[in-house]
Amino acid sequence: MQNKLIHGFHAVSTRIKRFPDSVVELYVNAARLDQRMRELMKLAEAQGTKVVLVDEKRLDGLAGGGRHQGVAASIDAGKSYISLDDVLDDLSEPPFVLVLDGITDPHNLGACLRVADAMGVHAVVAPKDKSVGINATVSKVACGAAEVMPYVMVTNLARTLREMKEREIWIAGTAADAHVDLHHFTGGTGPIAWVLGNEGEGMRRLTREHCDVLVSIPMFGSVESLNVSVATGIVLAESRRQRTMATPKG
């Protein structure tokens, strides 16, 4: 069993609703038994989850000093595994995927998952090496998105990109030196996977070579770069806009 700890009301409640059998124990601040918390406890107990009342100090320790909002949970991460094929095989619309190459900051990953969920992305893909996994900080920052957004960590990212191409998914990488800018890129309506690298080095060379097209984000101010979660939000929102505009009004 791959136990790990998550905290924060959104992260915990979403996990219980999405993967109830993965929640091993629920830890609740005994001093905060308001209606919202009682409903969460009732939901957990209905799923057969053990509820443990603890004090604030115990929760502070479990959450590692993070803002836990009076609740934390021990989960079996192995029971929420999903493969990219599982996701793609079940779609009734063109695939919309986010690939994160080398994101190691949990705050950035949490923010990326949150915006991916908001823009209707079907899955987020990342290499297992040099990438952060779903931990308590990621879950907290994502505000529940980490518990509903399929986060697929793959052993060989280049091979996964090739497999997506075999499914006719267009691989679009972001790069400052690209010859096409986002405002003139019209490929967002079909099957697409957006690839973003880390802020320091960008995409790795092999990842870049597997992209079908490189796209830059137009910059009109004095700053030369964007936080990866901000850049993610910009490209995903543009693809979502194109998809919405291309859909006939019913």
At 139, which amino acid appears? Answer: S
Q: How far is CA 53 from the centre of its chain?
A: 30
On whether 197 is known to bind a ligand per the annotation, the reply is yes
Contact 98, 194 (CB under 8 A): yes
**C-alpha to C-alpha distance for 238 and 19, rounded to whole angstroms:** 31
Residue 133 labelled as part of a binding site: no
- Could you tell me if 152 and 192 are in contact, meaning their C-beta atoms sit under 8 angstroms apart? no
CA distances from 120 to 23, 94, 114, 145, 150 (A): 25, 12, 10, 11, 12
Q: Is 181 left (phi over 0), alpha (psi -120 to 50) or beta?
A: beta
Which neighbouring-strand residues pair with 26? Answer: 51, 73
Q: Which residue type occupies 43?
A: L
CA separation for the pair 109, 137 (Å, rounded): 9
Instruction: Give which of 15, 233, 47, 21 is closest to 144, Cα–Cα.
Output: 15
Tell whether residue 226 is among the known ligand binding residues: yes
Q: Name every residue whose Cβ is closer than 8 Å to that of residue 231 and which is 6 or more positions away in sequence.
A: 174, 196, 217
Q: What backbone torsions phi and psi does residue 138 show, to the nearest 5 degrees?
A: -60, -45
CA distance 171 to 164: 8
Binding-site members for S-adenosyl-L-methionine are 197, 217, 226
Binding-site members are 197, 217, 226
